[in-house]
Structure 1
Amino acid sequence: MSQRAQPGSSHATQATPTASLLETLPSELRRQVLSHISDLDDLRALMFASPVFYQQYRLDRKHVLSQVLISTLGSLLVDAYAVQRSATLYSPPRPLPLDTMREFIQNYTSLRFAVPELVLEDCTLADLVDMAAFHRSVARPLSLKCAALFLQHLDPSLKGHKPGGYRVVARLDPAETLALFFGAFNPWEVEEIDCIYTLIRNKYDAVLDAIQCDLATDNPSFDNRDRLSTPPGSWDFSHESADRRRLREGTALRGLRLFSKVLATHDHEELVKTMQQYQVKSGTYEHVLSWVAQHRRRAVYPSAGDLAEARGEKLAFAGDTKDGPPLAWVIGWRGRYTNVYGPVIPAPLKAWGHVFWDCRRLVESKGKDAVLRARDERGGGA
């Protein structure tokens, strides 16, 4: 079998006639061509097809990669930037220092509506490469897998389709960081994050069932099983034990890279080793989203969203816009601004990611009817 070709090598895919013509352009025009490529995959394909453009790319790699990331990610650019930044700051299971967290929150909030070039202003080339790699190898493939899992819970006959409003997978990496500044998001955006978290948590629930015997305290593989204490590497995975709840949450909060690895692992022994290596305990995320925590926030330090709800403000559906509420959220709360999320929202709605669906697909599928039924069962809520 031949060795895999490298970009710009003599073994790379032969350039197309169009690419050959473009290669004759002056260097500055070739730079403009590269800067206007709208997708990372297209950029990669050109690098393999044309040694000339590969060398041009190497001369101005940071600028070109910045422009292609802006075109590829669109409104998700600031979230991808936050993912990259949080990955450099966060080393689980140790928590972030409070001052570092505050600075991170302020920076993220200030950039949410900034021009794309400003978002990437302080990024190094290595940062941009990491963002591109995360998008291609983790975020985009996972968005398709998550969409398929959501569809299974709503209507399996829709297989092959995906919710058109799917836009937020990258925000859950890591969720533990984001959980501490949910005030930066609209309530339907928090619910988007929680739908993805719930999907990941439920997957890990199934994984814990699969490896329960392998990591049980009485498994013969633990040579110190006669001790009164729990052997290192073993856990109590009995149904809804404290260990199980905290491990399920903590492992989900390890982020999307680990989740992607777990989904791709089909060998049982390899799965056991992966979980032993990466699983950690946590109680942060679900506590922050709990009704008790939300009630305390309203009573002690109400947010702008809490005040809008208290004033009885209306919330209209203005189409599938970048920052506006999705149709499912608006009809679920009867057009009223409602600043609640998390466990308040019925689990069956979370199971198919109701807030990710654009208007057309929600209406054409069974989704709108499901939202209306859930609302009516609650007597006015979602």
Structure 2
Amino acid sequence: MAAFHSRSVKPLAEYYADWMLDNLAKVADTGPPGSKDEAELTQTEVMRLTRAMYRFHLLCQIADPVDRAIRQSRKANVKALLDILQPWETEELFSFYQFAEMKYEHVLMDVHWDLHPNNPRFADQDRPPTPEGAFDLENSLDRSESVEGLTLRGLPLLLKVIFKIKDHADLVSTMQLNITRSYIPLNALEGVLGETEQVQRNWNNPTERDRLQEARAELPFRGDGEVDAPPLAWTLMWDGTYSNLYGHYISDGMRRWGYVFWDAATMESKGADELLRRQWHDEWEIDPRDSL
């Protein structure tokens, strides 16, 4: 466990934090990328990042597209995991998931032609519909399912892709070995994180959290020292009351700069509090909970 943390979790958490802070610096226009050098992560920020990554890896274990034993229960497993998380914790997990997904989107763009069925490197095969080792990534469905499948391979593959790939040939062979199609789906448009799933749950099988949302139960910012308390950004978005919405209801742009990870002091010093207000107002002119 210690080796896994030091070799996989810690370097990826540092890389991911740098990536989000670079994005924040760009969209908040508070200075050049590389903001992490100016302010080290706080203990609470490290905790949020770390638990998001461990939960991401757990998600990959219970939704592994390669494991035939769990193939029929993958969606139920994902829903069971989300049921034990607070909505802002789901957003932490989904933020890191989307980061990994974006990395694989770029990788598949880089190896697209190398793996294309019409690439001359497959000319010596007898030309079945798709040569062995080739993938038709021009097909949007195949591409999205391949991205989901790669993302669900977990932290070790992501670590290899980001830090250990030696050259383009190594990248191509790594993708050939690991591309697996998966469709749960896990995105903000459909499936367990989409609008339809959340609306139907709210109507047909409301949870205690849905009832807290309906009652607009108070949920003020209690500071950054409590591990189970929401970050400042979450309480600003929902006016200090409870919300059980996530995924579809939060913009990808906000997740890219890590709104759900930062302490109040970081939000203020980086101009993220004002950025959050602008982006949230642009996304929703009315409270999305009222649409339920």
Instruction: Tell me whether 1:308 sits opposite 2:212 in the alignment.
Output: yes
Once residues 242 and 225 of structure 1 are traced to their aligned partners in structure 2, the CA distance between those partners, rounded to angstroms, is 25
**Aligned partner (choices 137, 140, 155) of residue 237 of structure 1:** 137
Question: Can you list the C-alpha shifts for 1:83-103, whole angstroms capped at 9, x where unaligned?
Answer: xxxxxxxxxxxxxxxxxxxxx
Alignment of 1:44-193 (within 5 A): 131-155=1-25, 156-160=33-37, 161-164=39-42, 165-166=45-46, 167=48, 168=51, 169-176=53-60, 177=62, 179-180=78-79, 181-193=81-93
Deviation at residue 260 of structure 1 after TM alignment: 0.3
Once residues 187 and 262 of structure 1 are traced to their aligned partners in structure 2, the CA distance between those partners, rounded to angstroms, is 29
Once residues 256 and 125 of structure 2 are traced to their aligned partners in structure 1, the CA distance between those partners, rounded to angstroms, is 39
Once residues 125 and 240 of structure 2 are traced to their aligned partners in structure 1, the CA distance between those partners, rounded to angstroms, is 58
**Aligned partner (choices 263, 272, 292) of residue 367 of structure 1:** 272
Provide the residue aligned with 1:62 in structure 2: none
Deviation at residue 162 of structure 1 after TM alignment: 5.0
Provide the residue aligned with 2:148 in structure 1: 249
Provide the residue aligned with 2:74 in structure 1: none
Deviation at residue 209 of structure 1 after TM alignment: 0.6
Letter in structure 1 aligned against 2:150:
T
Deviation at residue 236 of structure 1 after TM alignment: 2.1
Deviation at residue 205 of structure 1 after TM alignment: 0.6
Provide the residue aligned with 2:108 in structure 1: 208
Alignment of 1:343-354 (within 5 A): 343-354=248-259
Q: 1:243 to 1:182 in 2, by over 3 A?
A: same
5+ long unaligned stretches in structure 1: 1-130
Once residues 136 and 282 of structure 1 are traced to their aligned partners in structure 2, the CA distance between those partners, rounded to angstroms, is 29
Question: Can you list the C-alpha shifts for 1:102-143, whole angstroms capped at 9, x where unaligned?
Answer: xxxxxxxxxxxxxxxxxxxxxxxxxxxxx1111010011110
Provide the residue aligned with 1:86 in structure 2: none
Alignment of 1:284-299 (within 5 A): 284=184, 285-286=186-187, 287-299=191-203
Letter in structure 2 aligned against 1:231:
P
Deviation at residue 342 of structure 1 after TM alignment: 1.0
Instruction: Tell me whether 1:379 sits opposite 2:249 in the alignment.
Output: no
Provide the residue aligned with 1:332 in structure 2: 237
Asked if the contact 1:251–1:279 (Cα under 8 Å) also holds between the matched residues in 2, the reply is: yes
1:360 match: secondary structure: helix
Once residues 372 and 157 of structure 1 are traced to their aligned partners in structure 2, the CA distance between those partners, rounded to angstroms, is 23
Q: 1:316 to 1:224 in 2, by over 3 A?
A: farther
Once residues 224 and 293 of structure 1 are traced to their aligned partners in structure 2, the CA distance between those partners, rounded to angstroms, is 47
1:288 match: secondary structure: coil
Asked if the contact 1:332–1:381 (Cα under 8 Å) also holds between the matched residues in 2, the reply is: no
Asked if the contact 1:215–1:234 (Cα under 8 Å) also holds between the matched residues in 2, the reply is: yes
Provide the residue aligned with 1:77 in structure 2: none
Q: RCO (CA 8 Å, sep 6+): is it higher in 1 or 2?
A: 2
Asked if the contact 2:209–2:244 (Cα under 8 Å) also holds between the matched residues in 1, the reply is: yes
Once residues 224 and 310 of structure 1 are traced to their aligned partners in structure 2, the CA distance between those partners, rounded to angstroms, is 63
5+ long unaligned stretches in structure 2: 26-32, 63-76
Once residues 307 and 231 of structure 1 are traced to their aligned partners in structure 2, the CA distance between those partners, rounded to angstroms, is 53
Larger radius of gyration: 1
Question: Please, which moves more after superposition, 188-197 or 223-232?
Answer: 223-232
**Aligned partner (choices 215, 221, 239) of residue 121 of structure 2:** 221
Once residues 367 and 163 of structure 1 are traced to their aligned partners in structure 2, the CA distance between those partners, rounded to angstroms, is 15
Once residues 339 and 162 of structure 1 are traced to their aligned partners in structure 2, the CA distance between those partners, rounded to angstroms, is 31
Once residues 40 and 125 of structure 2 are traced to their aligned partners in structure 1, the CA distance between those partners, rounded to angstroms, is 48
Asked if the contact 2:18–2:34 (Cα under 8 Å) also holds between the matched residues in 1, the reply is: no
Percent identical among aligned pairs is 34
2:113 match: secondary structure: coil
Deviation at residue 381 of structure 1 after TM alignment: 4.7
Deviation at residue 225 of structure 1 after TM alignment: 6.4
Deviation at residue 179 of structure 1 after TM alignment: 2.6
Once residues 140 and 264 of structure 2 are traced to their aligned partners in structure 1, the CA distance between those partners, rounded to angstroms, is 40
**Aligned partner (choices 95, 102, 110) of residue 195 of structure 1:** 95
Deviation at residue 175 of structure 1 after TM alignment: 2.3
Letter in structure 2 aligned against 1:203:
K
1:340 match: secondary structure: coil
- TM normalised by structure 2 equals 0.81
